[in-house]
Amino acid sequence: MVETVGIVVVPAAVKPAAVREWVVVQASRLHSAAGTAAPQTTKCVLGQPPMPSQSFRIAVLISGGGTTLRNFIEKIRAGRLPVEIALVVSSSPAARGIRFAEEAGIPVAIVEPKAFSCQDDFSRAIFDRCRDAGAQLVAMAGFLKRITIPDDFGNRVVNIHPGLIPAFCGQGFYGHRVHEAVLAYGVKLSGCTVHFADNQYDHGPVILQKAVPVLEDDMPDTLAARVFEAECEAYPEAIRWIAEGRVTLDGRRVRIASEPK
């Protein structure tokens, strides 16, 4: 029994976590034997959805528990997120989120930063795998490593921040550190921000924000839980807009069309 991925036949004995690596090696061998060049990945133009017969393919980057990845998978199964997760890239072999990918039959690539001499080489390895998978968009989902985004993925990488950018963001502001800072400052609203990622911390154009109240008796854990509920709706919604071709950029302003293209 075999599983087919693209034009490459993958033996069922190959575990999901190893599928991508097996495909790349075998595809390279096939093209070398035929004396032809490997096919090139078509670039995704912002605001231009795939043809109706094709699915919009994304890659998801994780480092830990994978709760955002799990939310994507659930939304896809419920018909609320019209994309295919073509690949999950983990910066750690111990990331608990790998289990969600494998259970869903999604190929996983583990790319550890310690295996590379610099950030640029680490980043190149990640985006090479995203290209191989045909990813039209890369979604950072609790990915805690700094990466360099190459030119061909400009405005094709998205991230979510557990605060309302430009407040409580930038280097050092992630996870519970954001919620602790929000409570210490005494603001009355917090929330989440989905944005295009660039090569500065929490700097790219804002796609979508959702606000939540900060309650008088909030602790970091309770505020985090309320913000995460908002994230579970905001992040898939923003990706759906992109997949439907509704998102365009006007300088730093992200404009959302009322109807899919």
Give the residue numbers annotated as catalytic, written as ranges.
161
Residues sharing a CB contact under 8 Å with residue 30, sequence separation 6 or more, in sequence order:
8
Pairing status of strand 206-213 against strand 137-140: unpaired
Sheet with 108-110: strands ordered across: 108-110, 84-90, 57-62, 137-140, 157-161, 189-196, 206-213
Residue 235, burial from CB neighbour count under 10 angstroms (0-12, 13-18, 19+): buried
| Distance in angstroms (rounded) separating the CA atoms of residues 188 and 201 | 24
| Distance in angstroms (rounded) separating the CA atoms of residues 13 and 182 | 49
b/e per residue 94-118 (b: at least 16 CB within 10 A): ebebbebbbebebbbbbbebeeeee
Residue 189, burial from CB neighbour count under 10 angstroms (0-12, 13-18, 19+): exposed
Write the single-letter amino acid at 94.
Answer: A
Phi and psi at 160, nearest 5°, equal -125, 135
* Residue given tokens 């890239």 in the structure block: 89
